Amino acid sequence: MPPTAALHRPRWRSLALLALLLAPLLWPLQQLAERYYRDALNAQSGQTLDLYVANLLGTLRRYEVLPPILSKLPTLRQLLQERDDARLRDQANRLLGGLQQQTGADVIYLMAPDGQTLAASNWDRHDSFVERNFSYRPYFREAMEGRHGRFFGLGTTSRKRGYFFAAPVREGRRILGVLVVKVDLDHTETLWGDRPEQLLVTDSYGVVILTSQADWRFHATRELDNAERAVIADTQPYRIQSPPPLQLDDAAWLRQGRHLEDIGWTANILTPRSLLDRPVRAAVTIGGAALLVLILLLGLLMQRRRHYLERIALDARARQQLEQRVLERTQDLELLNSRLKQEVLEREQAQQELVRAQDELVQAGKLSALGTMSASISHELNQPLAAIRSYADNAGVLLDHQRSEDARGNLRQISELTERMASIIAHLRAFARRDRHAPESVALQPAIDDALALLAKRRQAMQVELIRDLPDATLWVQAGETRLRQVLGNLLANALDALGEKAPPRRIWLSAQHAGAHVELQLRDNGPGFSAEALQRAREPFFTTKTSAQGLGLGLAICETLMRALGGELLLANHPAGGALLTLRLRTAEHGVNIQPPEDFAL
């Protein structure tokens, strides 16, 4: 056997033995890393769950006080006493419909002592509750016993999940009927967003009622006994009477829960185990790499020592030179070690600077988003507020002349404008989130009439002549009713702004026609038109040719975004005869048939 091989073998065996002795150190490293990252992950998930629970309880408590208050309305009490009076029923239906719109509840309805629904806020819809009997629901029985009823269930008519609050309608000590407020819980799931963690809310039976995973809904997280199955069959809170078990791999999730004492629910957040395993594996990998580097360094030192001994054995005369070389190598290692320490220190400082820069960037982004939203709300609400003031002033004049019916008309217009302002605010919030809403079938001419009515007083004061060339037949387009009126109002307001710089005569032309699969609405004015720069930058946010007091430069940017969301197009040009020419190109739709459910801007 060669002498070199004899020297190599013991050295590598020693390194292998050392590796075996140091390898168990990775296990406590894994435990420490797992404990650290688990605590951090649990803290983050717990905060997220607390926020969701607070939002859910806040939504329910907001509507809890409504039934006792509304049950005292004279119209509802009179209907319960004269339930066959058609006039009273119509008044009660309209009253509940108005209350539903004001409060944001899903449905408000009145029940007779036999469980039959006499009036409901959805009386004019195909899934109306009127004439339906819900006496089997627990909230009805509890209210008839003189208590405040509560119940979660899937609507047998609407097929929507909701939480029901019920209160008895009393005449002295006698209970005339029950008033019920249903709260829609479907939208609470959308608040969760696209997150790796999963939401799981179960009721007192352990059945999943709210979840971020649609295929988990109405599955049982525990075994139900016969008594619970009988109660479920009697009260019908779900689509099925025997919920199937929820098959979850407990090893794949980290679970945290909050028990909601008031309603008997349990909210859970399930965090994927992979979110914990990845950083733990990374920490163990780094530890293993460090261990390997240590062993290699030890092997390198051993090899250098062997060379040193070989040189001593081969040539004693080279001993001093070898010692000098070892000394030089040692100095080099010290210098290298010093440089490595300096580099580590510099990298730590750079990492701290990066974290501070990221925090400042996030804060700047929040302030920018807040500024954009504030400017957008200011721009969009100016027109309705001006119209509300005009209607309010006119109402005062009409009341002075004893024209109460005309004054009521003005007040109704004010109510509709406030609803539109709420819709605009909700839409601007969706605009900032880049939300997309499904289009519906909208009649174009009524939308144009509404936008013109909003600006009628201003147009008349400016002596602007309106020239309409619209077909008699109603044009139906794919759009959102509120968003289409918002676009038309912005474009008409911009046209009036442009005409304010021109001496009379001032004119606006409106024309519409079919163009294949689209409807083209053209709006033209005889103002100064667009400059070359304005044609290129008019769609940019905050670009404006007006003063800061006249506009913010958001109108055309918002209109462009809304048109794209509706699948349409906004074209800007100058008319050959002078003035600006704006073309709205919208997809045609079937007459009066919704393409998708209407927009929901509930806040």
Q: What is the mean pLDDT of residues 330-359?
A: 83
Q: Which helix (H) or strand (E) holds 252?
A: none
DSSP class of 181: E
CA distance 236 to 229: 10
Do the bridges between strand 464-469 and strand 506-515 make them parallel or antiparallel, or are there none, so unpaired? parallel
pLDDT digits (tens, 9 = 90+) for 361-375: 434 433 443 454 455
Question: Is 436-587 the same fold as 65-184?
Answer: no
Residue 424 pLDDT: 65
Using CB atoms within 10 A of its CB, is residue 173 exposed (0-12), middle (13-18) or buried (19+)?
exposed
- The one-letter code for the residue type at 27 is W
CB 534 within 8 A of CB 544: no
- Mean pLDDT over all residues of the chain? 80
- Mean pLDDT confidence for 228-253: 79
pLDDT of 435 over the 60 cut: no
Edge-to-edge strands, sheet with 208-211: 208-211, 198-202, 265-272, 253-260
What global pTM score does this model have?
A: 0.45
Say what the pLDDT of residue 511 is.
Answer: 92
What is the DSSP annotation of 242-256?
SPPBP---GGGEEEE
The pLDDT value given to residue 312: 86
Tell me which DSSP letter residue 316 carries: G
Determine the pLDDT at residue 5.
46
Q: CA angle, 563 as apex, 562 and 569 as ends, to 5°?
A: 160
Cα 349-353-355 angle, rounded to 5 deg: 115
Q: pLDDT tens digit string along 26-38?
A: 778 778 877 888 8
Give the domain ranges of the chain: 65-184, 193-274, 436-587
CATH architecture of structural domain 193-274: 2-Layer Sandwich (3.30)
User: Which pLDDT score is estimated for 97?
Assistant: 92
Spatial CB neighbours of 42, under 8 Å, sequence gap ≥ 6: 254, 256, 271
Domain 436-587: which CATH class? alpha beta
- Answer yes or no: CATH 3.40.50.720 is held by domain 65-184: no
Structural element, H or E, at residue 211? strand 208-211
The pLDDT tens digits for 35-55 are: 888 888 888 888 888 888 888
Continuous segment of H or E residues that includes residue 467 = strand 464-469
Tell me the β-bridge partners of 109: 120, 180
